[in-house]
Amino acid sequence: MAHTIITDRHALAKPVVFKSILKMMNTTATEMTTAENSHRGAFWNTSTFSLGALILLIIVATPQLICMPVTNDVSYYDLQARTVMRGGMLYRDMVEPNFPGVVWVHITVRSLFGWSTEALRAFDLFVFSLTVFLLTRFASGVRFQLAFLLFLAYYSVSEWCHVQRDLWLLLPTAAALNLRWAQIQRSAQAAVAGKTLFLYGLLEGLVWGAGVWLKPHVVIPALAVWLCSLTSPDLRTKVWKDLGGLLTGGLIAGALGLSWLYFTQTLPWFLEIQLDWNREYLAEGNFGNLRYIVLNMVARFFPYILIHLAAVPAAILLLIRQDSQRSAQTALRLRLLSALYLAWLLQVVLLQHPFDYVHFPPLLLGLSLLVYAFHCTRRARLTRWLLTASFLVMALIYSPVTKPAYLRLWSACLEQGSTGAIRNQLARIPYPDWEDMEHVAEFLKSQQTQDREVTCFSNDMVHLYLSLDLEPSTRFVYTQSYIEFYPSRRPLIFKALRESPQRFVLSNLMAGGLLVSQAKEIGPEGPNAYPPAFPEHLKAKFPFSLPIAFRSGSLVVHHYQEQPSKESSTKPSDKQ
């Protein structure tokens, strides 16, 4: 993304970008020392304790966090970044339904810090730290209390919530929220020039626009925050300058991204995916037993999932009416945070798939809202004490960072790094098995596999393209998912598979709906055969109809045997 500097006619050496950031910091630092502090109860005089707990958490849990595994999504974006860095073309060489912003981030990180998972996880922690800093600047009256709770949540959730677009999207969102507040304060100044409001609005528009390239769904929270800001009468009188700047900044961010797509000759392929392929992707939504998926997600997020039970009604009430004893500034801050939270949650529930990483950011926003609202409330002090203490106790009990087994890995993570054995012990979701993945990698090395000779049919296996430095057999890297989500493209996908020089097809037996113990079981036919519980009907379908060349746990290497008959069950069939 390009960095745009807009200079004042009389101060060419002072970019508005830096002046706006300094203004934002000074504004938020001084406001909270007035009306906010008058509402502070004894419970919230815990800053020192919270800061100490935060430092302790970071010290005892960061090595384990850095050594946790990354998901197949992360490796897939790494593959796309590697393709671009090697002169390939995004969307043409690898099918990708999403906007390219996340690939740009991966290209930047990999160019600067190398290809280890530890480097990417350290970057993720850095981005999250900046996000927390900006959120706590907005709610600075409870800065350390909120920071501790946010970091505890971050360290406690599964690997599927880390190194993801949705979590990174909170960074420009939090920055734009602070810029919006600074714009409201600026509009109250009688001497402020319309040009100044326009330029600062442009800066905010650039920030929101950058977020759109990560995930366009952020437009909905952005609109909600802007509409809510219009409850400020001072801003309403200058609305057109403000709106003009916002739209201009957003258009500039869009133009910069489109320019990259155009000059890399990627634009036609990008448009084909977005306008043609994605209509089917968005309409399909094939997740099997949706109730089972949602219940599992709720269990993984406990107790943080309970935040919505309190945050949703609280946000609605805060938008409708406010405590008369609150200052106007406090009330508006609460409304802005409420609008952001509800809009984010709404687009997640209505527009997105039920993935953990999608649902984690609104939980963080809901938590921020509740902590700040509790801080700004005088009434029901005992109730707030009990609710907060109960939640904190549950969060600590269910968090892996308080478990002795987790803490014992601290020194091993520092000494050994992210090995397969350590990843297995740190993973919140017990598949794939990372030691089994290493065994599969060793087998493929022994077979002297070359580029395009391996097809990772199961998404879990795409990590091997990176660890073995292999190019995928086709542009349909998420083979199994694309077969499910693009049913009209199945003939094209299977044709590409048949025409590829693939020698081995990799699968995960968990795809058969087995438990981990069932998928790893060795039956009477030996270790290179299917486990007894594997469904018989799947054995007739690609790739499970192929002979097994190697198996480690639930991970299977199939030997691809091309047959003269087009209808052979060992070949990928368009009818599957």
State pLDDT tens for residues 246-278.
Answer: 999 999 999 999 999 999 999 999 999 999 998
- The whole-angstrom separation of Cα 167 and Cα 158 is 13
Domain membership of residue 205 (yes or no) is yes
C-alpha separations of 213 from 225, 261, 297, 521 in Å = 19, 12, 27, 44
Q: 131 with 86, same domain?
A: yes
Q: 405 with 449, same domain?
A: no
Q: Report the pLDDT value the prediction gives residue 562, as an integer from 0 to 100.
A: 67
Q: 213 with 105, same domain?
A: no
DSSP at 235? H
Highest mean pLDDT among 31-40, 69-78, 190-199, 515-524: 69-78
Across 355-369, average pLDDT: 96
Domain membership of residue 19 (yes or no) is no
- The whole-angstrom separation of Cα 161 and Cα 64 is 15
Lowest mean pLDDT among 164-173, 191-200, 405-414: 191-200
- What integer best gives the mean pLDDT of the chain? 88
Domain membership of residue 2 (yes or no) is no
Q: Report the pLDDT value the prediction gives residue 8, as an integer from 0 to 100.
A: 38
Domain membership of residue 41 (yes or no) is no
Q: 194 with 220, same domain?
A: yes
Which residue's structure tokens are 């609305």? Answer: 239
Decide which of 248, 279, 310 is a domain's last residue: 279
Domain membership of residue 485 (yes or no) is yes
Q: 254 with 333, same domain?
A: no
Tell me the per-residue pLDDT of 130-157, one tens digit each, with 9 for 90 and over.
Answer: 999 999 999 988 999 999 999 999 999 9
Q: 421 with 444, same domain?
A: no
Q: How far is CA 315 from the centre of its chain?
A: 24
Domain membership of residue 569 (yes or no) is no
Decide which of 365, 388, 411 is a domain's last residue: 388
Residue 308's φ and ψ, nearest 5 degrees, are -60, -35
pLDDT band at 37 (very low <50, low <70, confident <90, very high): very low
Based on the structure, what is the number of domains in the chain?
4
Q: 75 with 158, same domain?
A: yes
H or E element that contains 14: strand 11-15
Q: 259 with 350, same domain?
A: no
Q: 150 with 259, same domain?
A: no
Domain membership of residue 12 (yes or no) is no
Q: 152 with 219, same domain?
A: no
Q: Report the pLDDT value the prediction gives residue 205, as an integer from 0 to 100.
A: 98
3-state secondary structure of 421: helix
Q: 222 with 269, same domain?
A: yes
3-state secondary structure of 402: helix
Q: 457 with 523, same domain?
A: yes
* Per-residue pLDDT at 38 exceeds 60: no
Domain membership of residue 525 (yes or no) is yes
Instruction: Look up the domain containing 212 and give its range.
Output: 186-279
